[in-house]
Amino acid sequence: MQKQETLTKNQKIILDLIEKSDQPLKAYSILFDVKKKGINAPLQVYRALNKLVKIGKIHKIESRNAFIACKNSKCQIANATIFSICESCEDVTEIHDHKLSEHLRDFKDNKGMKYNKYNLEFFGLCKKCV
């Protein structure tokens, strides 16, 4: 299982931090928080983030340039993500909807594209913000 890959020191530090937050964190806010642990430079953060994204431990919220932990232990698929984003309070939730995922996985365009990944972001207002 790819997700149990052993992580390096920096990767662990940064994953820990992201997993403790239920909301997306930005790279430079992560950098600020891990300086006390000896991570000093943006590149150290970005390298860890890129790796963690690649192995599916975290996802990037593209519209927000922020990173959130994947809470779904069953989700092997680092490359098929659906998020719900409240445009008022900025609350982000990962969506796991079997039917929708299936629909997206099975999607074929008419140009012969060979897909291996997708990212879907829904925007709106959450219950609290309506």
Partner DNA sequence: TTAAATATGTTATATTATTACATAGCGTTA
Partner DNA sequence: TAACGCTATGTAATAATATAACATATTTAA
Binding site for DNA (CB under 7 A): 6, 8-11, 26-29, 38-44, 46-48, 50-51, 65
How many Cβ atoms are within 10 Å of 105's Cβ, its own excluded? 11
Side-chain half-sphere CA neighbours of 74 within 13 A = 4
Cα separation of 86 and 121, whole Å?
A: 10
Q: Is residue 83 helix, strand or coil?
A: strand
Residue 116 in contact with a copy of itself, rule: CB under 8 A: yes
Within 26-85, the residues that bind Zn ion by CB under 5 A are 70, 72, 75
Segment interacting with a copy of itself, rule: CB under 8 A, options 1-9, 24-32, 48-56, 121-129:
121-129
Residue 95 in contact with a copy of itself, rule: CB under 8 A: yes
Residue 104 in contact with Zn ion, rule: CB under 5 A: no
**Biggest distance spanned by C-alpha atoms of the chain:** 52
Q: Is residue 58 helix, strand or coil?
A: strand
Residue 114 in contact with a copy of itself, rule: CB under 8 A: yes
Residue ranges binding Zn ion (CB under 5 A): 70, 72, 75, 86, 88-89, 91, 126, 129
